[in-house]
Amino acid sequence: MKLIKFSALWCPSCLIMNGRINKIINKYNLECVEYDYDVDTDKVDTYKVGDILPVIIIENNNKEIIRIIGEKSDKELDKILEGVIDEKN
């Protein structure tokens, strides 16, 4: 399973979310791919990233299974991912 992260260097919510996203990566043993909102504009278009950052997309066999947009607490993230993906896959 792969976690794709879109963030920007100037974005406070992205900075707040960095640690929380790392927890998810470790908890669910996910491969992580990071894209910069200002640099990787082709990927921003391809993945239809909107105007709220950060955006996390979790894919299984290149198929999107969930998208999380904007700032979420650890609890909210746990709730969103509960039942969607298994710990350590």
Partner 1 sequence: MIYLDYSATTPVDKRVLDTFNKVCLEYPGNSNSLHSLGVKSKELEEYVTTKIADILKVKPIEIIYTSCSSESNNTAIKGICLKYKNRGKHIITTSLEHSSVIAPLNYLTKQGFEVDFVNLKEDGTVDLEHLKSLMRDDTILVSISYVDSELGIVQPINEISKIVKKNPKTFFHVDCTQAVGKVNVDLSNIDLASISAHKIYGLKGVALLIKKENIVIEPLIHGGKSTTLYRSGTPALPLYASMMKALELIVPNIDENTKYISKLNKKIIDKLSTYENVYINSTDKSVVNTINISIKGIKPETFLHALEEYEIYVSTKSACSSADTMSNSVYAVTKDKERASNTIRISLSYLTTEEEIDKFLEVFDKCYNHLLLRG
Q: Does the footprint of partner 1 cover residue 34 (CB under 8 A)? A: no
Given a contact cutoff of 8 angstroms between Cβ atoms, the answer to whether 59 and 4 are in contact is yes
Tell me which of 1, 8, 25, 80 binds partner 1, using CB under 8 A: 8
From candidates 30, 53, 77, 85, binder to partner 1 by CB under 8 A: 53
Dist CA 71 CA 75 (whole Å): 12
According to the binding rule CB under 8 A, does residue 35 interact with partner 1?
no
Q: How many CA atoms lie within 13 A of 70 on its CB side?
A: 4
**Identified binder of partner 1 from the candidate list 51, 61, 63, 88, rule CB under 8 A:** 51
Close Cβ partners of 69 (under 8 Å, ≥ 6 residues apart)? 50, 52, 55, 56
Residues contributing to the site for partner 1 (CB under 8 A): 8-16, 18-19, 37-38, 51-53, 70
